[in-house]
């Protein structure tokens, strides 16, 4: 694959962390906030890989924590740009927990994050369009466009 092609796969980021006691709550499972911080970081790297510009987080969609993740487990975050618009990008981050000895994995969380590319003054700048190779990727990008419409509608309704 040519390095200049801006496909979802070209933006893909895989981050692996081990859950340490300092990451956990009183029940020995990872803090939700810690997972969100990792998801934010994973999404930022995927977005920067796509546009090769600095980015800021504009929005996090609703995030559901499906299962607790215990201390000593590995968390594997996989991030990928799912759609691009004018200056913003939607990134999907999937979080899996891996048992350290048995190697079994299960999905614990899915987050959709909007990142905006900015210039040196913090002003939004245009990003290169995403090149979808498969029908699945194209459908995913179409669904992302509908989510973007809803996000902006919510933002305008809830403006304070």
Ligand X SMILES: CC(C)(COP(=O)(O)OP(=O)(O)OC[C@H]1O[C@@H](n2cnc3c(N)ncnc32)[C@H](O)[C@@H]1OP(=O)(O)O)[C@@H](O)C(=O)NCCC(=O)NCCS
Using CB under 6 A, list all residues that contact ligand X: 56-59, 85-88, 114, 116, 118, 122, 124, 151-152, 155
Least distance from ligand X to the Cβ atom of residue 148, Å: 6
Output 53 or 57, the one with its CB closest to ligand X: 57
Least distance from ligand X to the Cβ atom of residue 3, Å: 24
Residue 73 CB partners (closer than 8 Å, separation 6+): 18, 19, 97, 98, 99, 100
Residue nearest to ligand X (CB): 85
Residues 35 and 71: beta-carbon distance below 8 Å = no
Output 3 or 122, the one with its CB closest to ligand X: 122
DSSP line for 68-128: --BTT-EEEEEEEEEEE-SSEEEEEEEEEEE-TTT--EEEEEEEEEEEEEB-TTS-B---P
Output 76 or 116, the one with its CB closest to ligand X: 116
Least distance from ligand X to the Cβ atom of residue 137, Å: 18
Residues 94 and 110: beta-carbon distance below 8 Å = yes
**Both tokens assigned to 56:** 């800021």
Least distance from ligand X to the Cβ atom of residue 143, Å: 15
**Both tokens assigned to 126:** 């245009």
Least distance from ligand X to the Cβ atom of residue 42, Å: 13
Output 95 or 116, the one with its CB closest to ligand X: 116
Output 124 or 128, the one with its CB closest to ligand X: 124
State which H helix or E strand residue 55 sits in: strand 55-60
């Amino acid at each position: 694959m040519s390095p200049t092609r801006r496909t979802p796969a070209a933006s893909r980021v895989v981050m692996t962390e081990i859950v340490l006691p300092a990451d956990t709550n009183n029940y020995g499972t990872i803090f939700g906030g810690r997972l969100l911080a990792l998801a934010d970081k994973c999404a930022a790297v995927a977005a920067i890989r796509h546009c090769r510009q600095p980015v800021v987080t504009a929005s996090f969609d609703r995030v559901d924590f499906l299962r607790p993740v215990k201390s000593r487990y590995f968390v594997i975050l996989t991030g990928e740009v799912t759609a691009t618009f004018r200056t913003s990008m939607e990134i999907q981050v999937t979080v899996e927990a891996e048992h350290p000895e048995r190697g079994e994995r299960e999905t614990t969380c899915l987050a959709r994050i909007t990142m905006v590319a900015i210039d040196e003054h913090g002003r939004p700048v245009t990003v290169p369009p995403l090149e979808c190779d498969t029908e699945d990727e194209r459908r995913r990008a179409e669904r992302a466009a509908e989510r973007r419409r809803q996000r902006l509608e919510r933002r305008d309704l809830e403006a304070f």
